[in-house]
Amino acid sequence: MRRVVITGIGAVTPAGGTAGDTWANVAAGRTAIGQIENLRPWPLATQIAAQVKQFEVTEHINAKQANMMDRVSQFTVVAAREAWADSGLVMTEELAELAQVIVGVGVGGMVTLDDSFHRLYFDQNPRCHPFTIPRLMPSAPASQVSMDLGLKGMTFVVASACASGTHAIGLAFRAIRSGDTDFAMTGGAEACVTVGTLRGWEALRVLALDTCRPFSKDRSGLVLGEGSAMLVLEELEHARSRGARIYAEIVGFGANADAGDLTSPDAQSVCRAMQRALSDGRLSPADVGYVNAHGTGTLMNDLVESTAIKSVFDNCEKPLVSSIKGVVGHTLGAAGAIEAMVTALALKHGLVPPTANHSEVDPAIELDVVPNTAREIAITAALSNSFAFGGLNAVLALRRFSTAAA
Amino acid sequence: MSVQEQVKVIIAKQLDIDPSTLEETTDLQEAGFESLDVVEMIFNLEDAFNINIPFNANETDTSQMKTVGDIVRLVETIQAGAVPKAGNKPAGQTPDEPSA
């Protein structure tokens, strides 16, 4: 069977402007959640978010090109450029024709939408900027990456709310494994820290007011984040033939739907998604040393997810489980991609990142959630979980790269 | 319309039933409330009565928000200016809150 490896990574996240800085802060459990800045002044109960601060787009992209993009596309293009450079791939006409771009996006160009509607309805200015539509279309991040890097394979955006990044990587993985292509630039992106979006999340009554504390007994909800992570996926023999650095192997993808409640996850369904990822990757539960949890920090998600994990690993040693959302917040469409990247780095470095902001053991969780301090431990395989509103579950199975056949 | 009548109209509209079928003791979940109905009801109550109901799906104790009568008392308490304190929820959750 054709094997798929990660040979390049790039990220713009609240925890850092590169993949390396993001990993360092995630591994240190240093939270990037803070006072919201640069927001249109408007009454909000929420005062905190995990924002990408000190992002000066023109340091990366020339002003004319950046002007065509919403913030969500700017993040994606900067992350994709880093991943491309990191992969060491040299562009050829054949590579360009084959390389697919698949990006997960939760809501798309919300900054553009917020600005445009404010101008239209509030300022009573009937004139819209001519780039309004190309900036805000949900598919823009994938299009912009394709144009920026000259990648001409099948290119599109996947939308499955909080699971978008994981679905995107899962589809790119399948495209390579099935022989449809040898390369993909894939990941996720989101930039929706706007008044309108925050108001909407407040109305759902799930936002934490102090900080995000996944799996902690005193957890009080999620905190919105923003950012992007992009990965270069490559067919193993191709990567080997050019001596590429390999971060980790992606071996399985499991996705399903609850077909039940709009917002409450279903433990059995979530459990089946994890089992699908394992069987797709020809892994047994005992192979898995780490689960990068969806771990939003809401009462319900963390309880249901831990129940599902305990059920999947019922007959073997329980894996370590951690959520990085205490550091980077819930970056929605980007979350699955940032987390897959972090999971790959955990496998490569033998270091499990901690669950930050953990202050009190919740006896109902009954798992080692790696509170506050990273754990050095060699892991063979890991899962990266994403569970979205609408009951859309997606799980990636990754393996530490070894030359032996999987 | 009394507070109780208005509350019944709001709940009945969400459930798509006749308000007269609701009693003070009617259990909202048994009547058909699903995960987001509580959040939507709070929103509708806040609009209708011009009040602010301190409700966080992660923190608020919903044990006092089970029946139509509970909701009427909640609105009347807030109208009277005594906002009930949001307490931490005990383990063992009700399936009526979003979780993202």
Res B83: pLDDT: 63
For the question of an ipTM over 0.90, the answer is: no
CA distances from B74 to A200, B7, B69 (A): 24, 10, 9
Please tell me which residue of chain A has the smallest CA distance to B46: A203
Res B92: pLDDT: 35
Res B60: pLDDT: 77
User: Which position among A167, A238, A330, A358 bears the catalytic label?
Assistant: A330
Provide the residue-wise pLDDT of chain B in tens; the chain has 100 residues: 899 999 999 999 999 999 999 999 999 999 999 878 999 999 999 999 999 998 888 877 788 899 999 999 999 999 998 665 444 333 333 334 455 5
Residue-averaged pLDDT of chain A? 96
Task: Identify from B43, B58, B61 which residue to disrupt to test chain A contact, counting A C-beta atoms within 10 A and taking the largest count.
Answer: B58
Which of residues A43 and A392 earns the better pLDDT score?
A392
Domain positions in chain B are 3-79
Which residues in chain B are closer than 8 Å to A300, comparing Cβ atoms? 57, 93, 97-99
Non-local CB neighbours of A130 within 8 Å, separated by 6+ positions: none
- Average pLDDT for A40-52: 94
User: Which position among A60, A167, A238, A294 bears the catalytic label?
Assistant: A294
Give the closest of B39, B56, B88 to A221, CB-based: B56
Q: Is the pLDDT of residue A406 over 60?
A: no
Radius of gyration of chain B measured on its C-alpha atoms: 13
Cα A340 to the chain's mean position, in Å? 6
Respond yes or no: is residue A316 known to be catalytic: no
The conformation of residue A122, written as its DSSP 8-state character, comes to: I
Q: Are A83 and A230 in contact (CB under 8 A)?
A: yes
- Average pLDDT for A35-50: 93
pLDDT band at A357 (very low <50, low <70, confident <90, very high): very high
- Average pLDDT for A86-110: 97
Instruction: Specify the fold of B3-79.
Output: 1.10.1200
Q: Is the pLDDT of residue A10 over 50?
A: yes
Res B58: pLDDT: 83
Give the closest-approach CA distance of B57 to chain A in angstroms.
6
User: Which position among A162, A192, A212, A271 bears the catalytic label?
Assistant: A162
Res B95: pLDDT: 38
Give the closest of A209, A218, A264 to B95, CB-based: A264
Look up the pTM and report it: 0.93
Note the pLDDT tens digit of each residue in A203-256. 999 999 999 999 999 999 999 999 999 999 999 999 999 999 999 999 999 999
Q: How far apart are CA A292 and CA A295, in angstroms?
A: 8
Does B42 sit within 8 Å of A205, measured CB to CB?
yes
Give the closest of A219, A263, A330 to B98, CB-based: A263
Q: Is the pLDDT of residue A179 over 50?
A: yes
- Amino acid type, A377: I
How many other CB atoms sit within 10 Å of the CB of residue A31? 21
Q: How far apart are CA A186 and CA A163, in angstroms?
A: 14
Res A392: pLDDT: 97
Respond yes or no: is residue A129 known to be catalytic: no
Give the closest of A203, A261, A298 to B100, CB-based: A298
Note the pLDDT tens digit of each residue in A103-144. 999 999 999 999 999 999 999 998 889 999 999 999 999 999
What is the per-residue DSSP string for A313-351?
TTTSPPPEEE--HHHH-B-GGGHHHHHHHHHHHHHHHTE
Residues 201-230 of A with CB under 8 A from B: 203-209, 218-222
User: Shortest CA distance to B5 belongs to which of B71, B79, B98?
Assistant: B71
- Report CA torsion sign: A316, A318, A320, A321: positive
Res A349: pLDDT: 98
Give the closest-approach CA distance of B59 to chain A in angstroms.
6
Non-local CB neighbours of B6 within 8 Å, separated by 6+ positions: B48, B49
